[in-house]
Amino acid sequence: MNNDLPNDADGDAIRRLINDGADLARPMRIDFHIAAPNERSAETIAQAATHLGYHARTYKDSDDAWTTQCSTRTLLTYQTVIAIQAELHALAEPHDGYIDGWGSFGNHQAD
């Protein structure tokens, strides 16, 4: 499986999760982060993501930047990550938001 992943940031992140003990045959929580220009945009993006089935929350980080975190529990595949990022990009772009990465703690422990 490791060799089947592209050599890009998403493939590298999945390889790290595998190396940390994640089982790709079991679902895990994945958090996608969307940078937003202001609180209103972040909240609008969160509402739209919630309507699509994501658990969404907004927060202001230490650099005074707004982020919408969109979480889902699913099987992790490269194709899934790409598809979700495309879906969230389409949702965020009209509000001047953009995908700012994703992460997971995997599923090797109780989550």
Structural domains present in the chain = 2-103 (3.30.70.970)
Q: By percentage, how much of the chain surpasses pLDDT 70? A: 95
Query: Which pTM value belongs to this model?
Result: 0.91
Please write the tens of the pLDDT for every residue from 38-88: 999 999 999 999 999 999 999 998 888 999 999 999 999 999 999 999 999
H helices then E strands: how many in the chain?
3, 4
CA distance 18 to 78: 12
Q: What is the mean pLDDT of the chain?
A: 94
Tokens of 31: 């958090």
pLDDT value at residue 62: 82
The angle at the Cα of 86, spanning 83 to 90, to the nearest 5 degrees, equals 145
pLDDT value at residue 111: 46
